[in-house]
Chains A and B, each alone.
Chain A
Amino acid sequence: MTTTLTPPTPGASKPAPGRSPTSRRGTAARGRRGDGRFVAICLLPALALFALFMIWPTVSVFRMSLYTWSGFSAQMRFVGLDNFSKLIDDEQFLRAFQNTVALLVVVTVVTMGMGLFLAAVMTRQKLRGHTFYRFVLYIPNVLSVVVIAAIFSAVYDQENGLLNGTLRALSLDGLQQVWLGDQKLVLYSVAIAMLWQSLGYYMVIYMSSMASIPEELYEASALDGAAATRQFFAVTLPLIWQNLRTTLTFFILSAVNLSFVLVRAMTGGGPDGASEVLLSYMYKQAYTNSAYGYGMAIGVVIFAFSFLVSLLVSRATRREPLQF
């Protein structure tokens, strides 16, 4: 732990005109060196905690995925990649994986599309009361997931729910569904709840970046005869591209994480595993089924999957940043 090798930065060590420049420079350097040491010592606990609570557990997940362990005892058995080869034959795991990917695609496409559309309408069209709409759309984002689950339990209730009740009132009885009980529908019911929760957040992000686009660009394009749609694709979209790329990564992370909490609170993975997602399956294996090592192997797959998808999306969407 030494900082003596750090040379004083050139700009700061400019010899000052004075009686004894060397001695002053020496004091300053020594002082800076002392400061560096002090800062380092002060940051050490934080770094140690970061290593202990972030880096070490992450490494542990990878290590534990190679063992068979129940989670409590001292009996850990090294099994190499056995846990991973078992995953390939595990139908429930594959189903959970499919569900996660489906949620990822559906929720990303729809949230992004709607978020962009709403943001464009609100910033460009100067809607009356647009702050109110923004407020209303943002509210779900500050609600806890348990509250959202309770709200959607009331919306989806097959007898007195908002959705089926409205359909009945419109004499569309044939369209009524058991939203959380139908194995073909349940995943989309979860997806709608996710969409409702996150739409406002992304809309606000897009709005803020759209607001920073200079008005002249729109005026110029209008003079060239571009309609609102053309403006959106030719001006707005290219100029907020960097922002879009960032939110894509958020989408991937939230599809993995948010789906877990919502599924836990709303369906418990049911009926009969139809809405199981990767994290909920990992939780069940690691804690309920006492197969901790196997659960950690699922964790590794989730880690690798999110990492890879983020990387691919980031690569695929790379463009030369446009300046305005």
Chain B
Amino acid sequence: MLRKPIVLAVAAATAISLLAGCSGGDDSADGKKTLKVAAFEGGYGRDMYLQVVEAYRAKHPDVDVQLQLSKTLEDEISPNMKAGKFPDVVVLPQGRKAALAETLVKDKALEDLTGVLDMTVPGEQSTVRSKLADGIVGNLNTNPYNDDKTYLMPMYYAPTGLVYNKALFAQKGWQVPTTWDDMFKLGDAAKAEGIALFTYPTAGYLDSFFFALLADVGGEQFYKDAMTYSEGVWKTPQARQVLDITAKLLTYASKTTVGYANEQDFTKNQQSLLDNKTLFMPNGTWVVGEMKDAPRATGFEWAMAPLPAVSAGGKRYLTTIVESVWVPSGAQNKDAAKDFVAYLYSDEAAGIFAKANAIQPIKGKAATLAAEIAPFYQLYEDPTITALVGGFASTAPVEGVNIKGTLFDTANSIISGDKTVDQWQTALNDASEKLRQAGK
């Protein structure tokens, strides 16, 4: 008979422990408006967001700003979003693996922020539009549907190009090549000294490379055609030239590239630059911070160059990564959210961000940079170099088709000889065609 009380007790304990997990739920019913801000904690750190939110709170005591910061932001906010609980403002780079912003764009689930451009920045006289650098809005990055509506506001921008060690070039007496012919000549010279011309951390880093190369070869209209899946664009001679130049460059790739081109080992490819074993890799300003503790050759000095021009004196493009801030359509407090987004462009907020090396595309901002990253941004002052923003246009999701994967990851197979340029071109054409159908 002793068993019965035990069974009952265990049953009761099970029930209680399960029900205990269901308690909770937060309510801030003190009449304040709640503004939920979710931001990705990336290379710029978390302090700048804490300070900006603090400054905003001081000006708007009636708004309760709840800040959520995370290195894995998508994992934390997506489950709630699927359940219909959306943050009001999200700051998140595009091109991340989880592709949250891209998914919402495909879904048409972002709030139209065109109105924010004409809002006066809180506490200032000028409008957001007048503060922003020219050409930074109105491209596929901010207007993903290729129309005049802005859904993603540009937040920080950073140049991406070929990163190299300035000291090594000075030491060897080499010039940074300005044409592809010079580039390959340099490749041969470097090979004679046991130095590889090129590597990439993972194939995904070729995004900035390809975008710039497409524009270098075929001009801006061609670049736009490729990004919007114009019919037959990958069958054109220009597209073939892009793939041929890349395939030739890949024959100069360091032999460790493919073996290290994965999540676990990609820093070893970056390390080969620090060790003077490789000359160039496509990368962005963040690599300086990412590799700051890594050992390096004496006198190592970071520098960045745009891709060489196709012919002498040709136009060169510098792919510019723009991180965005956006408001989901499902947000509760859209007006407060828009006001907060406008505030992010105030001198006060921009100053806080700039201290953490997060540079916003605000006119005159480039003059106030820290010494270690200033050379990267100075590239924009070169009259032969044009900033290039954007990326592949969004379409409805197409099952099994990922054109970025087709364009970038195939590089691994080109190096190892598992695929030919012809196969690459055909696969790109197929993928582009399927996406074009879906975009109609």
A183, B99: Cβ atoms under 8 Å?
Answer: no
* Chain A residues whose CB sits within 8 angstroms of the CB of B416 once the complex forms: 181-183, 271
Given contacts A181-B258, A271-B258, contact A42 B11 (CB under 8 A): yes
Which of B148-156, B340-348, B392-400 forms contacts with chain A? B392-400
Query: Do A291 and B398 touch across chains, with their CB atoms under 8 A apart?
Result: yes
Picked from B8, B82, B104, B413, the residue with its CB within 8 Å of the CB of A272 is B413
**A287 B262 Cβ-Cβ under 8 A:** no
Contacts of B413 in A (CB 8 A): 183, 271-272
Contact between chains at B399 and A86 (CB < 8 Å): yes
- Complex contact B261–A181 (CB within 8 A): yes
Contact B8 A72 (CB under 8 A): no
User: A186 → chain B, closest Cβ, in Å?
Assistant: 9
Contact B260 A181 (CB under 8 A): yes
With A271-B261, A272-B409 already in contact, the answer to whether A287 and B99 are too (CB < 8 A) is yes
CB within 8 Å: A-B pair count: 149
User: A71's contact among B103, B260, B400, by CB below 8 Å, is which?
Assistant: B103
Q: Decide: A271 and B7 in contact? CB cutoff 8 A.
A: no
**CB of B106 within 8 A of chain A?**
yes
The digit string for B164-207, where 1 denotes a CB below 8 A from any CB of A, is 00000000000000000000000000000000000000110000
* Residue contact A178 to B258, C-beta cutoff 8 Å: yes
Kindly specify which of A33-41, A111-119, A132-140 makes contact with the partner chain.
Answer: A33-41
Which of A43-51, A123-131, A233-241 is the interface stretch? A43-51
CB distance from A299 to the nearest CB of B (A): 14
A35 touching B8, Cβ below 8 Å: yes
Q: Is the CB of B11 within 8 A of A86?
A: no
Q: Within the complex, what minimum Cβ distance (angstroms) separates B418 from chain A?
A: 5
A39 to B3, CA, bound (A): 13
Do residues A68 and B397 form an inter-chain contact, with CB atoms below 8 A?
Answer: yes
- A43 and B11 in contact (CB under 8 A), knowing A183-B413, A266-B264, A270-B412? yes
A290: contacting residue among B4, B97, B102, B264, CB under 8 A: B102
Query: 7 shortest A-B CB distances, which residue pairs?
Result: A181-B259, A42-B11, A271-B412, A294-B399, A181-B258, A178-B259, A73-B107
Given A181-B412, A268-B262, list of 11 further CB < 8 A pairs? A90-B399, A181-B256, A182-B416, A265-B263, A271-B413, A272-B410, A272-B418, A284-B402, A289-B99, A290-B397, A291-B397
Binding site for A on B (CB under 8 A): 4, 7-8, 11-12, 14-15, 18-19, 78, 81-82, 97-99, 102-104, 106-109, 202-203, 255-265, 268, 397-402, 405, 409-413, 416, 418-419
Q: List the interface of chain A (C-beta within 8 A of B).
A: 35, 38-39, 41-46, 49, 68, 70-73, 75, 83, 86-87, 90, 92-93, 149-150, 153, 157-159, 178-183, 265-268, 270-274, 284-285, 287-291, 293-294
Give me 12 A-to-B residue pairs in the complex whose CB atoms sit less than 8 angstroms apart, sorted by A's number.
A35-B7, A45-B19, A46-B15, A70-B397, A87-B400, A178-B255, A181-B258, A183-B418, A268-B262, A270-B202, A270-B262, A294-B400
